[in-house]
């Protein structure tokens, strides 16, 4: 026993004497090789037919410019994508380019990304949604699609609950009344919620935020001034906790995965409403396949006087460059991802709202046209203005608020402390 | 002859270990490679996830005897050749060969709020429980699934231990009129002292370092940080581009396993020896 403890002590001492030797992270930003005939690309999600066609299109566009370069596309699961990416980069085995969500996920990782500001300059006027991919005056990606949190509802369930399916709730009181009716008169839950990863509260914050904060507070939040102890920030947390306590959500929300279990509940008619996405997945196109004419779109509801409701939307996803040695190749790949024909084809086939403002969405899906009609007055997402550490804390607190483990005041204090 | 073995141990075991401990005293991001003393350990103590992990280690330890007991009692039944013992011997070992990810996926379905387990409880008028979504039940549920999935290994080791049991000693005890309890306490347990120690220590290490797959698929550490364990935290910290902090958490895990293992061996040596 003593010998073993002594051995451990020796190891520790030796380690202490070595503390000037090297660092835990590799010196480079990526472990991508330097061979100029291959580009390793990471993204997430399953390659459905539409996505496969889109990637065929952009690979073809890339090959026009780089005919001799092989593209290796690696699909990772989304739920742990950033942890996998971070681990790979730290281990020196990261890809050359990787897909990122705009906002927090990209901005908190600019230290591992290569700026491409001048290379993207000629695309600036063609695409919308740049701010989500810019930090400290540098551009790190080109937005492929716009992303946002529209609220979708099931018109058939509204009818069953005795609600006017063509006039969705416009205020918090009306929403509360609608939820009561749905819970009383149908077997469905009011909202579908998957909170296993803690994502629910960020959808709630960004989904309903414009109806809670004043325009000045909203803009200040986007600019990085997050006063978690303010009345309206606490109100967000309170409404989140109250909505759970009032039984708005499906059973077992904290153990239900958001992607895609909770969205499946909405598609299957087991929930009257859901805060979904505009692009990528859980969007108008996917829901239309299940609900057809019963799919409705509604704007955030007005909660406080002085708030101006707006569709929460911004630059959604785009590729960032991780391997500086392959910057030129990666830039050509990024330009290929925003090829107008590829975006145009995928918008309709895959259910995406393209960043290219010259692309017209030619669809008869009412929810999609309603979303596009609101883009002009849209505001950036509130949760993507938070840093990664605060967002992770918000995820955990969102679960604890549902479980009644923390009070709103405690949660607000912890978030304020996290923002430092 | 010994030198190659020592070299392999030093290169593949000792050097990475020292390197990991070394990294725990360096910084992350802009401080990469710079000596920061005990800063990482101080940061960890202030991290709610780390504190939850440390507390959860104690919860895990409470479940170790359960796994050893389950494996031991079932191995005893098989040793005593209960009807169908050959069939049970195979069945008990079967889950060991399954991937934790598969097991996690299966139990996600079984334990879902509207899943078959709660439906079965409903049949007997018991309320359903969100097993994986409540602070009080998330980690214990994962641990019970882990025990179900891995007790087959301990069970097999116990069977091997029974094979070394001195049958004459057991017969002598029976002739002297020892009842079942006395046979177990005074003959079987002392004879299996080494086996019990081994199973306890390997089960503990297995629980502390082998739960990642189940946590990943079943709870993702939640709700809040209720089911975080050191290895899950290490992985999260690495993914947050803080490998030095992850190294500090790894050193913490190493020390826990080491200290608990040594204490267990000591305590069990006394507890299982015939005075």
Cβ distance B222 to A12 less than 8 Å, yes or no, reads no
CB-CB neighbors (< 8 A) of B18 in chain A: 11, 14-15, 18
A283 touches chain B (CB under 8 A): no
Cis preceding linkage at A41, omega within 30: no
How far is B8 from B6, CA to CA, in rounded Å? 5
For an interface test with B, the pick among A11, A200, A255 (most B C-beta atoms closer than 10 Å) comes out as: A255
Q: Are A393 and A378 in contact (CB under 8 A)?
A: no
How far is A122 from B13, CA to CA, in rounded Å? 53
The tens digit of pLDDT for each residue in B177-200 reads 998 888 888 888 888 988 998 899
B246 touches chain A (CB under 8 A): yes
DSSP for B211-274 reads: -HHHHHHHTTT-STTTT--HHHHHHHHHHTT-HHHHHHHHHHHHHHHHHHHHHHHHHHHHHHS-
- Chains A–B, number of C-beta pairs less than 8 Å apart: 150
A145: β partners? A317, A354
Cβ distance A24 to B133 less than 8 Å, yes or no, reads no
Query: Among residues A61, A65, A67, A75, which one has the least CA distance to residue A37?
Result: A67
CB-CB neighbors (< 8 A) of A402 in chain B: 223
B135 touches chain A (CB under 8 A): yes
A24: nearest CB among B32, B235, B236 = B32
CB-CB neighbors (< 8 A) of A194 in chain B: none
B145 touches chain A (CB under 8 A): no
Per-residue pLDDT for A15 more than 60?
Answer: no
Q: Are B28 and B242 in contact (CB under 8 A)?
A: yes
CB-CB neighbors (< 8 A) of B21 in chain A: 11-12, 15-16
Per-residue pLDDT for A14 more than 70?
Answer: no
How far is A82 from A180, CA to CA, in rounded Å? 38
A4 touches chain B (CB under 8 A): yes
SS3 call for A73: strand
Distances in whole angstroms, Cα of residue A60 to Cα of each of A67, A332, A349, B78, B196 = 9, 12, 18, 64, 63
Q: Which residue in chain B is spatially nearest to A250 when comparing CA positions?
A: B113
Q: Kindly tell me the sign of the dihedral angle through the C-alpha atoms of A150, A155, A159, A165.
A: positive
The tens digit of pLDDT for each residue in A355-397 reads 988 888 889 999 999 999 998 889 999 999 998 889 999 999 9
Q: What is the pTM of this model?
A: 0.87
In the block, which residue shows the tokens 């505001």? A379
Per-residue pLDDT for A3 more than 70?
Answer: no
A388 touches chain B (CB under 8 A): yes
A82: nearest CB among B19, B25, B239 = B239
A32 compared with B214, residue with greater pLDDT? B214
CB-CB neighbors (< 8 A) of B17 in chain A: 11
pLDDT at A26: 67
How far is B141 from B143, CA to CA, in rounded Å? 5
Per-residue pLDDT for A19 more than 60?
Answer: no
The tens digit of pLDDT for each residue in B68-122 reads 999 998 998 888 788 888 899 889 998 999 999 999 999 999 999 999 999 999 9
Residue A40: phi and psi, rounded to 5, are -95, 125
What's the token pair of residue A239?
């409404």
Angstroms from A87 CA to nearest CA on chain B: 5
DSSP state of B113: T
Stretch 64-83 of chain B: residues touching chain A, C-beta under 8 Å = none
Per-residue pLDDT for A175 more than 80?
Answer: yes
B130 touches chain A (CB under 8 A): yes
B21: nearest CB among A12, A22, A198 = A12
A250 touches chain B (CB under 8 A): yes
Q: Which residue in chain B is spatially nearest to A82 when comparing CA positions?
A: B239
Cβ distance A252 to B112 less than 8 Å, yes or no, reads yes
Low-confidence ranges of chain B (pLDDT < 50): 275
A146: β partners? A315, A353
The tens digit of pLDDT for each residue in A269-313 reads 999 999 999 998 899 999 999 999 999 999 999 999 999 999 999
Mean pLDDT of A176-204: 97
B224: nearest CB among A15, A89, A399 = A399
How far is B140 from B52, CA to CA, in rounded Å? 14
Write down the number of H helices and E strands in chain A: 17, 12
How far is B109 from B103, CA to CA, in rounded Å? 10
Cβ distance A197 to B220 less than 8 Å, yes or no, reads yes
Q: Are A320 and A106 in contact (CB under 8 A)?
A: yes
CB-CB neighbors (< 8 A) of B222 in chain A: 196-198, 254, 396, 399
A317: β partners? A101, A145
Per-residue pLDDT for A5 more than 80?
Answer: no
How far is A402 from B48, CA to CA, in rounded Å? 18
Mean pLDDT of A246-258: 96
pLDDT at A90: 80
Q: Which residue in chain A is spatially nearest to B245 when comparing CA positions?
A: A24
Mean pLDDT of A5-32: 54
Residue B259: phi and psi, rounded to 5, are -65, -45
Cβ distance A85 to B128 less than 8 Å, yes or no, reads no
H or E segment and range at residue A333: helix A327-337
Helix ranges restricted to H, chain B: 2-9, 15-23, 39-45, 48-79, 85-93, 100-111, 116-123, 135-163, 167-175, 180-183, 189-191, 193-209, 212-218, 230-239, 243-272
For an interface test with B, the pick among A3, A7, A16, A25 (most B C-beta atoms closer than 10 Å) comes out as: A25
What's the token pair of residue A339?
């090829």
CB-CB neighbors (< 8 A) of A198 in chain B: 222
DSSP for B141-157 reads: HHHHHHHHHHHHHHHHH
CA B42 to the chain's CA centroid: 27
B224 touches chain A (CB under 8 A): yes
Average pLDDT of the residues of chain A: 91
A19: nearest CB among B26, B29, B222 = B26
A112 touches chain B (CB under 8 A): yes
CB-CB neighbors (< 8 A) of A403 in chain B: 133-135, 223-224
Range with lowest mean pLDDT among A17-31, A61-75, B163-177: A17-31
Mean pLDDT of A186-192: 98
A405: nearest CB among B132, B224, B243 = B224
Cβ distance A90 to B241 less than 8 Å, yes or no, reads yes
B18: nearest CB among A11, A84, A89 = A11
How far is A167 from A174, CA to CA, in rounded Å? 11
* Count of positions (residues) in chain B: 275
Residue-wise burial string across B8-21, b where 16 or more C-beta atoms lie within 10 A, e elsewhere: eeeeeeeeebbbbb
Stretch 100-119 of chain B: residues touching chain A, C-beta under 8 Å = 111-114
Residue-wise burial string across B186-208, b where 16 or more C-beta atoms lie within 10 A, e elsewhere: ebbbebbbebbbbbbbebbbbbb
A196 touches chain B (CB under 8 A): yes
Per-residue pLDDT for A125 more than 70?
Answer: yes
How far is A141 from B219, CA to CA, in rounded Å? 33
Q: Which residue in chain A is spatially nearest to B36 when comparing CA positions?
A: A19
Per-residue pLDDT for A20 more than 50?
Answer: no
pLDDT at B270: 77
A24: nearest CB among B132, B244, B258 = B244
How far is A184 from B46, CA to CA, in rounded Å? 45
CB-CB neighbors (< 8 A) of A12 in chain B: 21
Cis preceding linkage at A260, omega within 30: yes
């Amino acid at each position: 026993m003593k010998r073993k403890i002594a051995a451990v002590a020796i190891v520790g001492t030796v380690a202490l004497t070595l503390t000037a030797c090297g660092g835990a992270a590799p010196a480079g930003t990526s472990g991508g090789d330097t061979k100029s005939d291959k580009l390793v690309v990471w993204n997430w999600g399953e390659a459905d037919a539409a996505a496969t066609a889109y990637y065929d299109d952009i690979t073809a566009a890339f090959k026009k410019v780089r005919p001799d370069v092989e593209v290796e596309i690696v699909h990772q699961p989304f739920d742990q994508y950033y942890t996998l990416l971070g681990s790979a980069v730290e281990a020196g085995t990261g890809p050359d380019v990787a897909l990122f969500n705009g906002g927090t996920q990209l901005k908190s990782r600019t230290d591992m990304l290569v700026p491409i500001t001048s290379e993207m300059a000629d695309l600036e006027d063609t695409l919308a949604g740049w701010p989500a991919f810019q930090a400290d005056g540098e551009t790190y990606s080109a937005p492929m699609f716009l992303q946002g949190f529209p609220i979708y509802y099931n018109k058939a369930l509204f009818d069953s609950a005795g609600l006017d399916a063509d006039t969705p709730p416009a205020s918090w009181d009306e929403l509360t009344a609608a939820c009561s009716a749905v819970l009383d008169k149908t077997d469905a839950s009011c909202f579908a919620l998957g909170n296993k990863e803690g994502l629910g509260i960020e959808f709630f914050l960004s989904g309903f935020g414009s109806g809670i904060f004043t325009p000045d507070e909203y803009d200040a939040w986007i600019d990085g001034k997050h006063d978690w102890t303010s009345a309206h920030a606490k109100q967000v947390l309170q409404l989140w906790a109250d909505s759970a306590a009032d039984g708005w959500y499906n059973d077992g929300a904290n153990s239900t995965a958001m992607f895609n279990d909770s969205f499946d509940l909405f598609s299957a008619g087991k929930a009257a409403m859901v805060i979904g996405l505009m692009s990528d997945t859980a969007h108008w196109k996917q829901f239309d396949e299940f609900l057809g004419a019963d799919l409705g779109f509604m704007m955030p509801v007005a909660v406080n006087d002085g708030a101006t409701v707006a569709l929460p939307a911004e630059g959604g996803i785009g590729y960032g460059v991780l391997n500086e040695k392959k910057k030129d190749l990666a830039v050509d790949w990024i330009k290929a991802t925003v090829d107008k024909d590829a975006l145009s084809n995928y918008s309709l086939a895959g259910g995406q709202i393209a960043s290219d403002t010259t692309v017209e969405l030619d669809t008869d899906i009412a929810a999609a046209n309603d979303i596009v009609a609101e883009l002009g007055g849209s505001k950036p997402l509130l949760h993507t203005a938070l840093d990664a550490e605060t967002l992770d804390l918000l995820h955990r607190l969102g679960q604890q608020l549902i479980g009644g483990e923390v009070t709103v005041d405690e949660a607000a204090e912890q978030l304020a402390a996290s923002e430092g | 002859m010994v030198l190659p073995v020592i070299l392999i141990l030093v290169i593949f075991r000792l050097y990475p270990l020292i390197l990991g401990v070394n990294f725990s005293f360096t910084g992350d991001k802009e401080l990469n490679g710079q000596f920061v003393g005990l800063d990482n350990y101080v940061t960890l103590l202030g991290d709610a996830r780390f504190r939850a992990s440390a507390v959860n280690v104690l919860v895990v330890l409470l479940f170790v005897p359960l796994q050893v007991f389950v494996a031991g009692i079932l191995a005893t039944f098989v040793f005593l050749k209960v009807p169908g013992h050959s069939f049970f011997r195979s069945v008990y070992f079967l889950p060991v060969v399954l991937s934790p990810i598969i097991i996690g996926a299966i139990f996600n379905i079984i334990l879902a709020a509207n899943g078959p387990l709660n439906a079965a409880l409903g049949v007997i008028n018991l309320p359903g429980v969100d097993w994986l979504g409540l602070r009080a039940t998330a980690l214990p549920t994962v641990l019970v699934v882990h025990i179900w999935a891995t007790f087959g290994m301990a069970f097999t080791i116990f069977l091997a231990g029974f094979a070394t049991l001195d049958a004459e000693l057991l017969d002598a005890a029976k002739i002297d009129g020892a009842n079942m309890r006395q046979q177990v306490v005074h003959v079987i347990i002392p004879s299996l002292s080494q086996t019990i120690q081994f199973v306890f220590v390997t089960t503990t290490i297995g629980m502390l370092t082998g739960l990642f797959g189940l946590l990943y698929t079943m709870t993702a550490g939640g709700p809040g940080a209720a089911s975080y364990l050191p290895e899950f935290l290490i992985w999260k910290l690495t993914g947050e581009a803080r490998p030095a902090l992850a190294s500090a958490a790894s050193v913490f895990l190493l020390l826990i396993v080491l200290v608990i293992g040594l204490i267990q061996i000591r305590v069990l040596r006394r507890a299982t020896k015939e005075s």
